[in-house]
Amino acid sequence: MGYLDALRNITIADIKVDLMRTAYDNDDALLNAFDPRVVIIWSAIFVVVPWFFYEPEPLFAMLVASLLLAYLSQTSVYLLALLIWGSLSNIGFIVILSSVVYWWQGGSGGLQSAVVDNSVALLPFTMKLTVISVVSLAAFSAMSPKKLAKGLLSLGVPRPFTFAIAYGYRMMPVLLEEYHDLVNSLRLRNKAPEHSGLLRWRYYLYLLKLAIKAFYPMTFNVAKRSRVTVEAMETKGFSHSLGNEASRELRLGDLEIRPRDVTFMLVSLLFVVVVAVYL
């Protein structure tokens, strides 16, 4: 009941604060302490590594390690729950659909047996996707937008693209706050249904209509905000600095691969070797 009560008490304000912390307060995150280039290369390696394993035991060990790393990296609980829920629901839909088709075509055994067999068959695939998703989320949400942009820029990614990533990170909580304000203003000017109906379907339909109505004004406001930002940056010579090598060196001057970065990479690779040998 405690978890159900916690789910019922989740508010937009809680999600907004959590996203603000993800976008701005990353100083104490574990992965944020390492060089961004090392973290990006590490995440690229561990996006590939799970595909070399086919047994549930090593994949489960990797899943536990990735969840522990996500916890130490202060990954947003809401984003992590949404990611895991999305993976499980997609795989569940595939299992149910394939089982029904198999049973409908006269497969041996009943529908329950087909669901169990398909679930067991898809378990390694599900764990691989979950490990990859958790690792990617932990890596890219733990680093501050500034460090992430620097890491990508140092690896050869064009600077306009790195700026777009950093700007998107910074704008995410602002967009959520603006969307929340628009929904609240629409709720003040619209009357909620007096009778909610069965399972409160009228009330949820009312909220859905408000969410759709608030989307276009938010898009329009974002376009205006982006235009003001671009004009301000052009005034400060942003376009000129894109191709300036001195500007690039100045931005990347504080990047340095330290012994702790090398240790982190070696320990991660050693963990994979141990999992592969003993599990």
Domain annotation covers residue 150: yes
211 in the same domain as 76:
no
Residue 251, C-beta contacts closer than 8 angstroms, at least 6 positions apart? 150, 153
Total number of residues shown for the chain: 279
Instruction: Note whether residue 247 is domain-resident.
Output: no
Q: What is the pLDDT of residues 212-265, one digit of tens each?
A: 888 888 888 877 877 777 777 777 777 776 667 777 777 777 788 888 888 988
Answer yes or no: are the C-beta atoms of 182 and 12 closer than 8 Å: no
Answer whether residue 18 is part of any domain.
no
Q: Flag whether 117 is in a domain.
A: yes
- Planar angle of CA 192, 196, 199, nearest 5 degrees: 140
Say yes or no: 40 and 120 in one domain.
Answer: yes
Instruction: Kindly report, residue by residue over 104-150, the tens digit of the pLDDT.
Output: 766 565 666 666 666 777 778 888 888 888 888 888 777 777 788 88
> 66 and 167: one domain?
no
Instruction: pLDDT band for 192, please (50, 70, 90 cuts).
Output: confident
What is the rounded distance in angstroms from the CA atom of residue 88 to the CA atom of residue 65? 19
Domain that holds residue 198: 145-242
pLDDT level of residue 2 (50, 70, 90 thresholds): very low
51 or 96, which is more confident? Answer: 51
Calpha distance 51→40 (Å, rounded): 18
The answer to whether position 64 is within a domain reads: yes
User: Which of 11-20, 184-193, 255-264 shows the lowest mean pLDDT across its residues?
Assistant: 11-20
What's the confidence (pLDDT) of residue 6? 47
Query: Does residue 209 share a domain with residue 103?
Result: no
Cα–Cα distance between 59 and 149 in angstroms, integer? 31
Average pLDDT over residues 14-23: 68
* pLDDT tens digits, one per residue of 136-186: 888 877 777 778 888 888 888 887 787 777 777 777 777 777 888 888 888
Gap between the Cα atoms of 139 and 70, Å rounded: 8
Name, in order, each residue with C-beta under 8 angstroms of 108's C-beta and a sequence gap of 6 or more.
Answer: none
Tell me: do 66 and 130 sit in the same domain.
Answer: yes
Q: Sign of dihedral through CA atoms 168, 35, 129, 72?
A: negative
Dihedral over alpha carbons 88, 90, 91, 97 (to 10 degrees): 140
My answer on whether 134 and 205 are in the same domain is no
pLDDT digits (tens, 9 = 90+) for 40-78: 888 888 888 988 888 888 888 888 888 888 888 777 777
138 plus 264 within the same structural domain: yes
Percent of the chain whose predicted confidence (pLDDT) is above 90: 1
Region label for 244, one of left (φ > 0), alpha (ψ between -120 and 50) or beta (otherwise):
beta
> Are residues 55 and 105 located together in one domain of the fold?
yes
**Between 12 and 220, whose confidence is greater?**
220
SS in 3 state form for the chain? CHHHHHHHCCCHHHHHHHHHHHHHCCCCCCHHHCCHHHHHHHHHHHHHHHHHCCCHHHHHHHHHHHHHHHHHCCCCHHHHHHHHHHHHHHHHHHHHHHHHHHHHCCCCCCHHHHHHHHHHHHHHHHHHHHHHHHHHHHHHHHCCHHHHHHHHHHCCCCHHHHHHHHHHHHHHHHHHHHHHHHHHHHHHHCCCCCCCCHHHHHHHHHHHHHHHHHHHHHHHHHHHHHHHHHHHHHHCCHHHHHCCHHHHHHHCCCCCCCHHHHHHHHHHHHHHHHHHHHC
> Are residues 158 and 196 both part of a single domain?
yes
State how many domains the chain has: 2
Asked, for residue 14, whether it belongs to a domain, the answer is no
Answer yes or no: do 155 and 113 share one domain: no
Residue 7 lies in a domain: no
Confirm whether 251 is domain-assigned: no
Non-local (6+) Cβ contacts of 65 within 8 A are: 271
pLDDT at res. 92 = 76
| pLDDT at res. 19 | 67
The predicted model scores a pTM of: 0.73
CA atoms of 202 and 267, how far apart (whole Å): 54
Do residues 103 and 188 share a domain? no
Are residues 189 and 232 both part of a single domain? Answer: yes
Please state the φ and ψ torsions of residue 14, each to the nearest 5 degrees: -65, -45
- Say what the pLDDT of residue 270 is: 92
Predicted pLDDT at 202: 85
